[in-house]
């Protein structure tokens, strides 16, 4: 069953995105697991460091495309609320967080990795934000974080093109902290997690809080995001993109920027 699993040892909690048969794509139920799980780990005095990784060969291919409508449009909640809540809970997690990235780290998978303090990647990893391929609007919190990490020009390229990039390119863009050979990956993750667990938690928590305060304007554009999400909801593009993705075909989107309606 797709789920988030957690183990704790030596002050390090390891959360595993466990859906390997679908490249660890994240179902609605998995998105809903994030906040209570992170709250529990934040309250655990034995946890000093959090590591997030994927099961098997990939970090995460993002939101489960077969579950996309439920994920983005849960009745009574703003579009994408569960994704945003998970990302923001991870970004606000008071202790240091490490994303252990291998294989695909795409879409919502990148959103989870991007919310971590430190991102360590294997040299064979692949990164991308594929919202424009599917016809959905990437969450504002994710856009804001991407701009802060990679700069506006790079963020525009990644968001608009939907292209994927390799680990060395991701490093040059500022998306990852360090790239290591696959053979050294497990040792590197263990080393950085152990190092962080030995450091002053007061210093780390205080400095993490101060760094986070620098981006406190992130939600000023909530109304603009809601407007664009409504535009997406009222278009055929999400259904077209999801169907083409499932069929491994090139989608023909119908929404038109000049008319803001279906192309005729």
pLDDT at 263: 42
Please state the pTM of the whole predicted model: 0.86
What is the chain's pLDDT, residue by residue, as a tens digit (264 residues)?
A: 889 999 999 999 999 999 999 999 999 899 999 999 999 999 999 999 999 999 999 999 988 887 777 877 776 666 678 888 999 999 999 999 999 999 999 999 999 999 999 999 999 999 999 999 988 888 888 999 999 999 999 999 999 999 999 999 999 999 999 999 999 999 999 999 999 999 988 888 888 888 877 755 555 556 767 777 788 888 888 888 888 888 889 888 887 655 665 444
Largest CA distance in the chain: 62
CATH T-level assignment (fold) for domain 3-194 = 2-enoyl-CoA Hydratase; Chain A, domain 1 (3.90.226)
Domain boundaries, the chain: 3-194
pLDDT at res. 262: 47
The pair of structure tokens assigned to 252 is: 């023909």
Q: Which helix (H) or strand (E) holds 140?
A: helix 140-150
The whole-angstrom separation of Cα 208 and Cα 119 is 15
Of 198, 144, 216, nearest to 190 by C-alpha is: 198
Give the separation between CA 105 and CA 92, rounded to whole angstroms. Answer: 21
Residue 198 tokens, joined: 């030995």
């Amino acid at each position: 069953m797709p789920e988030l699993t957690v183990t704790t040892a030596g002050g390090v909690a390891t959360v595993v995105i466990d859906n390997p048969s679908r490249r660890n794509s994240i179902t609605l139920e998995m998105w809903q697991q994030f906040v209570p799980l992170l709250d529990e780990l934040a309250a655990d005095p034995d946890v000093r460091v959090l590591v997030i990784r994927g099961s098997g060969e990939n970090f995460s291919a993002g939101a489960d495309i077969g579950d996309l409508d439920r994920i983005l449009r849960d009745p009574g909640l703003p579009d994408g609320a569960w994704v945003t809540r998970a990302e923001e809970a991870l970004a606000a997690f008071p202790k240091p967080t490490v994303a252990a990235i291998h294989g695909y780290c795409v879409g919502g998978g990148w959103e989870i990795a991007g919310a971590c303090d430190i991102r360590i990647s294997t040299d064979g990893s692949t990164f991308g934000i594929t919202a424009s391929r599917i016809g959905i609007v990437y969450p504002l919190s994710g856009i804001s974080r991407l701009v802060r990490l990679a700069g506006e020009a790079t963020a525009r390229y990644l968001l608009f093109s939907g292209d994927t990039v390799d680990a060395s390119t991701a490093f040059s863009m500022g998306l990852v902290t360090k790239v290591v050979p696959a053979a050294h990956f497990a040792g590197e993750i263990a080393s950085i997690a152990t190092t962080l667990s030995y450091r002053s938690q007061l210093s780390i928590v205080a400095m993490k809080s101060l760094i986070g305060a620098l981006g406190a304007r992130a939600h000023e554009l909530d109304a603009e995001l809601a407007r664009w999400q409504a535009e997406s909801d009222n278009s055929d593009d999400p259904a077209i993109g999801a169907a083409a993705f499932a069929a491994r075909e090139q989608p023909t989107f119908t929404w038109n920027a000049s008319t803001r309606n279906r192309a005729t």
